[in-house]
Amino acid sequence: MFEVKKDVLDSHEVILEVAFDEEAVAEAKRSAAREISREINVPGFRKGKAPYSKIIQHVGETTVLQEAAEHLLDEHYAEFLEAAEVSPYGPGEFLEVEPSPLTFKIRIPLEPEVELGDYESLRAEWADPSVSEEEIQQVLEQLREENAVLEPVDRAAEMGDQVMIDVHATVEGDVVVDEADIEVTLSEERPFLSPEFVMALMGMDAGDEKTFTLTLPETVDQPTLRGVEAEFTVKVNAVYTRELPEVDDALASAVGSFEAVDELIEDVRQRIRESKQEQTESDYRARLVDQLVDQAELAYPPQMVEDTLDDMVKEATQRIERQQKISLEDALRLEGRTLEQFRAELRPQAERRVAHSLVLNAFARAEEIEVSEDEIVQEYTDLLRQMGMAQQMSEQNLSLDSALGRNLSSNLLGRKVMRRLTRIGRGEGAEGEGDSESEADAALADEETLVADDVPGAEAVSAVDEGAPATETVAIQKDGEADRPEA
């Protein structure tokens, strides 16, 4: 019926050239003509009753051949793949069609291939984080700053004072700031807006007004205002001296339910340790994943990166609409960028995401790591409990095939994979039955976003960070498809 020739490309794609014999084409043309006759009016014949020759005469042989080609492709596409021993990543792409003999040329992306190598020999040095006295003192100093006592003074503002000001700013005549009674601490370490802005306020008394020009820093929220000159008019309403409290029992009771300053210091120490522990574990996992990727041999089609880019653009679109209430295109336009430029900037991250997803999926399969339905339901129940919604909803609200169900499954699988990879990296051998999931393990799902649409009646649970995620999760890999190629 047909003959298939296969040309394997370096891009992990193949080009199939499929030629049908004359008998198969003739039969397909007759079948196509019968279908066409049911849809059109041929003079002198009822619908579906016109002979083949009349259909050819009425619509043209090209139209019948095109319809026949569609039928042959739909009916035999899976057979093409089987005959060529091709496992597709996704739908193919038409390159060309030759009418005589009827021949298709189709580019098909191949299913990715991963060779992990000797991953059981992966090792990374682990060191428990320590907390220095300097770090503790920095936090205590911040607490002193936050609990400073303000006293009005009848003198010019000095470094360390706090001033109450009205601010009016314009850029090329357009008003960009118009605020009253803004509290500004005159600080060199943490300057308000910029060091130049703080210096402009130095020496001003209550009631003084000043106009000056400054270049806006790169840290301003509005991208179009970064680095441009603005004219400021500032009026000082009041000047306060800031008296910092001592680090004593009184400060401890003011900032929390501590009876003594030693309890406050120990709490600060513990919080710093937990934060550093989480960051250390995140960095450790990232190093192991990088090692796993570096030693693996990967082959995947370009379409995987394009699909991932599509997903990333969709994520950015949803985030921008949720946070800024504007479209991604409008946000990019404000920054002077196009969607094509944005995709180009995301491409390295998309390639990294594809590589990490492939090796982590392959690792999960090699280690036979799976997630059960009961575990997914428990994850959902825990999520509702954390949100204070356990009484309003039950596991019956969760569809395992929904976006939320797949999200929960992916997060759980990711945590299991990372836990196993960490044990290998530390040389701890197989995971024992007594192993439990730590709080740091539970933080592995940070890359995913659970929004109000996922859990009815809930506000956003977490937001996707704009930068690269600190941890990796195992993505649900796209299965090979035998769908007909896209035109």
Q: Which CATH number do you get for residue 172?
A: 3.10.50.40
Neighbours of 9 (CB within 10 A): 13
Its sign, for the CA torsion 399, 402, 405, 406, is positive
User: Would you say 418 and 441 are in contact if contact means Cβ atoms under 8 Å apart?
Assistant: yes
Task: Please enumerate in sequence order all residues whose Cβ is within 8 A of that of 297, keeping only pairs 6 or more positions apart, or say none.
Answer: 113, 114, 115, 117
Alpha-carbon gap, residue 344 to 364, rounded angstroms: 31
Q: Which of 111, 132, 164 is the C-terminal boundary of a domain?
A: 111
Q: Please indicate, yes or no, whether residues 211 and 315 belong to a single structural domain of this protein.
A: no
Q: Which CATH number goes with the domain that contains 15?
A: 3.30.70.1050
Q: Please indicate, yes or no, whether residues 197 and 293 belong to a single structural domain of this protein.
A: no
Per the document, the length of the chain is 487
DSSP class of 138: H
At 434, the pLDDT band (50, 70, 90 cuts) reads very low
Phi-psi region of 12 (alpha: psi -120 to 50; beta: other; left: phi over 0): left
Structure tokens at 330: 């409008």
At 425, the pLDDT band (50, 70, 90 cuts) reads very high
At 482, the pLDDT band (50, 70, 90 cuts) reads low
Alpha-carbon gap, residue 74 to 485, rounded angstroms: 9
* Closest to 16 (Cα-Cα) out of 60, 79, 101, 69: 79
Task: Pick the range with the lowest mean pLDDT from 129-133, 230-234, 305-309, 478-482.
Answer: 478-482
Looking at the domain assignment, is residue 127 inside a domain?
no
Q: Please indicate, yes or no, whether residues 355 and 419 belong to a single structural domain of this protein.
A: yes
pTM for the full model? 0.70
Number of domains in the chain: 3
Q: Please check the confidence at residue 468 and state whether its pLDDT lies above 80.
A: no
Q: What is the mean pLDDT of residues 413-432?
A: 85
Q: Please indicate, yes or no, whether residues 219 and 278 belong to a single structural domain of this protein.
A: no
Please give the residue that has the higher pLDDT: either 133 or 441.
133
Alpha-carbon gap, residue 48 to 222, rounded angstroms: 66
Q: Please indicate, yes or no, whether residues 279 and 239 belong to a single structural domain of this protein.
A: no
Q: Please check the confidence at residue 331 and state whether its pLDDT lies above 50.
A: yes
DSSP class of 260: S
Q: What is the mean pLDDT of residues 118-146?
A: 93
Looking at the domain assignment, is residue 99 inside a domain?
yes
Looking at the domain assignment, is residue 442 inside a domain?
yes
Looking at the domain assignment, is residue 214 inside a domain?
yes
Q: What is the mean pLDDT of residues 173-196?
A: 92
pLDDT digits (tens, 9 = 90+) for 29-41: 889 888 888 888 8
When computed from its CA atoms, the radius of gyration of the chain, rounded to whole angstroms, is 33
Looking at the domain assignment, is residue 186 inside a domain?
yes
Looking at the domain assignment, is residue 231 inside a domain?
yes
Instruction: Name the percent of the chain lying above pLDDT 70.
Output: 86
Element (H, E) at 462: none
Please give the residue that has the higher pLDDT: either 178 or 483.
178
Q: Most distant CA pair in the chain: distance in Å?
A: 106
Its sign, for the CA torsion 188, 194, 195, 198, is negative
Q: Please indicate, yes or no, whether residues 63 and 184 belong to a single structural domain of this protein.
A: no
Q: Please check the confidence at residue 283 and state whether its pLDDT lies above 90.
A: yes
Quote the domain boundaries for residue 29.
Answer: 2-111
Q: Please indicate, yes or no, whether residues 239 and 277 belong to a single structural domain of this protein.
A: no
**pLDDT given at position 396:** 54
Instruction: Name the percent of the chain lying above pLDDT 90.
Output: 54
Torsion, CA 55, CA 59, CA 65, CA 67, rounded to 10 = -90
Q: Please check the confidence at residue 473 and state whether its pLDDT lies above 50.
A: no
Q: Please indicate, yes or no, whether residues 197 and 106 belong to a single structural domain of this protein.
A: no
Looking at the domain assignment, is residue 37 inside a domain?
yes
Q: Please indicate, yes or no, whether residues 93 and 154 belong to a single structural domain of this protein.
A: no
pLDDT mean across residues, the chain = 85
